[in-house]
Structure 1
Amino acid sequence: MVLGAVAGALAICGGAASAADYRAPRTAFGQPDLGGFWSSATLTPMTRDRRLGDRLVLTPGEVEALEKDEASQIVAGNRSTDPNAPVNAPNGLELKPSFAAAGGDVGGYNRGWLDPGHTVMRVAGQPRSSLLITKDGQVPQRKNGTSAPVNEYGGEGSRGPLGSFDNVEERPLGERCIAFGRNVGPPMLPNGFYNNDYYIVQTPGAVVIEVEMVHDVRIVPLNAKHRTDGLRPWAGDSIGWWEGDTLVVETTNFPQAQAFNGSWKSLKITERFTRTAKDRLRYRFTVSDPETWSEPWSGEYEFSPLHGVIYEYACHEGNYSLPGILAGGLKAQQTPAAAAVAAKAPGS
């Protein structure tokens, strides 16, 4: 065990040194080349298992256990699905929270259709316990002493876990195939179930990031200024500049519907993209909102190459779930119990 720990430490030191010495290739117009297809899929969660306390780096034994368990889950999850099985029938899989968000073991969303990543995230060679690098690996408490909302992204969380069924515009953005918060960001975070892939294209005046989920595209103009017209576009208002080999992207003017951990009006997120090796692109983000948190807080991970390309994401093609959800909500409201609650509501 001691020898293994020493070897791990040497590997980490070597990884950090090689990253510091690495010089990214240049584009035809002289910028550090960040372009290509990248993936952020990983087993490492955004927030740390509280049992790990302040430990940002996992031991070799912990990494081996996590990755072995994931390998066994892949084997179990790729067994044939019984087409006659009832909805939510157990399939022998450990249902992760991220799988549940994607539909869990319902129908076509068994493990054969999910690709959350099968390795622990390494940053400078360190196997990380969380993407957040706060001391305890958690989102800091807000100034008013409350914890972050259950929903990391979006303004719908205050209306309950399922939101409102009154009309289509009150359904979550992901459900409406407008934007999947975790992937498009900022910050751009792995979603824990599939399609954690990106395509970066550079021009002399802008960097374009295509997000596989819903085919969102972030266009980051370089050496520009933030807009002052009061408009808050989807994914906020991003501008970028180069600091040496690092692309810095600063985003403000977030719309309320894309609030991050309850913050949007004064939210500023700063992202840093640095090519640290032929097959690694380091991504670091810092969240700042003086009205919400006492000080900024950060996270980081490293993209790895996507061995392939991004294809069309046809989110709503032949999708009847949204009218079905609204119809189900309307039907529920028509039950005697629902009608009684509605009759007692203020203004009824």
Structure 2
Amino acid sequence: MRVKLKDSFVSLVMGGLLLLPASIVSAQGSPEFDSPEFDSRDLSGVWGAIPGSGNNFNYGIGTPPPPLTQWGMENLRLEAITHAAVGDRTAEFTINGVPTNTLGSNYPGKDCEPLGQPANLDYVAFGPMEFVYSRSGDRIIQMLEYHREWRTLWLTDEHPEDIYPSYMGDSIAYWEGNTLVVDTTGFNGLTQLTQGVGHRPSDAFHMVERYTRVSYDRVELVMDMYDEKAWGEGASWSGLAKTFALMPGERLQEFICVPSEFAAFDSALEEAIQ
């Protein structure tokens, strides 16, 4: 399945040459043509991660999260424990003293746990995402192939008063010009922020995403994250950017984490390193 995604991405990159502005194509001696028209407010379709554009399991190298509060250090840090076959690892820290994780340590979705938000946006590198507009016009469904997770973006301007804490949180969405703003709160605090951040969010975690379709085949995402319990009042981890590429004709695959298969992998890994 990953080979399929890789091939799709290569095809997309090569095909992207056909989407260059006419002035550039003309300067290269090729015939001019009009680029495909698109609706800036239409995000429907399957979108894949572009390597090196914030899709690195850390939301953005060089942009560490804020330092943890004393409460955060005591309640949100993760132990650096990896697959049983590999054993313990010592956690490293960012310049702000925030514990990080390498590939051998904890990671979102470990043992087939839900990735949840915001981690699953960092795992579009493993499987694309799709936006589906409801026929009722009151919501947008965001489907994520990896671990087969999905969330509802309610097209309203207010969260309900009685939010039940969840892995995905409660998301409302609205348009600012041609940018879809998604505001999410109501998290259960049971997930890991992302592969490169070694702590969980608290139940006060709040995230704002801004999706902008900048061209026919590109969507840019900018994320701002807030957590007054973890980072302190007024602190934020902001300006985290990602770029996604349209994958015409692509269909999301059934990418489910199966506990028995996970255990078999762990056993095989243990035998291989003995």
TM range (shorter): 0.5 to 0.7
Q: Structure 1 residues 265 and 137, CA, compared in 2 at 3 Å: closer, same or farther?
A: same
Partner residue, 1:174: 109
Partner residue, 1:185: 118
Letter in 1 for 2:235: E
| Cα deviations by residue, 1:154-198 (Å, 9 ceiling, x for unpaired) | x6x53442399xxxxxx97623434235xx526722465x22x01
Partner residue, 1:35: 44
* Distance in 1 of aligned mates of 2:191 and 2:203: 10
Partner residue, 2:67: 142
Partner residue, 1:71: none
> 5 Å matches for 1:72-151?
131-132=59-60, 137-142=62-67, 144=69
> 5 Å matches for 1:265-284?
265-284=203-222
Larger strand share, 1 or 2: 2
* Distance in 2 of aligned mates of 1:147 and 1:255: 15
Letter in 2 for 1:316: V
Partner residue, 1:202: 133
Q: Please, which of 295, 306, 312 is the counterpart of residue 235 of structure 2?
A: 295
Q: Do the aligned partners of 1:238 and 1:251 also contact (CA within 8 Å) in 2?
A: yes
Q: Do the aligned partners of 1:187 and 1:269 also contact (CA within 8 Å) in 2?
A: no
* Distance in 1 of aligned mates of 2:72 and 2:153: 32
How many equivalent pairs are there?
A: 205
Q: Percent identity?
A: 19
* Distance in 2 of aligned mates of 1:208 and 1:35: 10
* Distance in 2 of aligned mates of 1:281 and 1:214: 22
Letter in 2 for 1:188: L
* Distance in 1 of aligned mates of 2:147 and 2:172: 22
| Gapped regions of structure 2 (runs ≥ 5) | 1-19, 25-35, 85-105, 268-274
TM-score, structure 1 as length reference: 0.49
Larger radius of gyration: 1
The answer to whether 1:312 aligns with 2:237 is no
- Bigger relative contact order, structure 1 or 2 (CA pairs below 8 A, ≥6 apart): 2
The answer to whether 1:235 aligns with 2:168 is yes
Which stretch has the larger CA shift, 288-297 or 270-279?
288-297
TM-score, structure 2 as length reference: 0.60
| Gapped regions of structure 1 (runs ≥ 5) | 1-10, 16-21, 27-31, 48-97, 99-129, 150-154, 165-170, 327-348
* Distance in 2 of aligned mates of 1:158 and 1:266: 18
Larger helix share, 1 or 2: 1
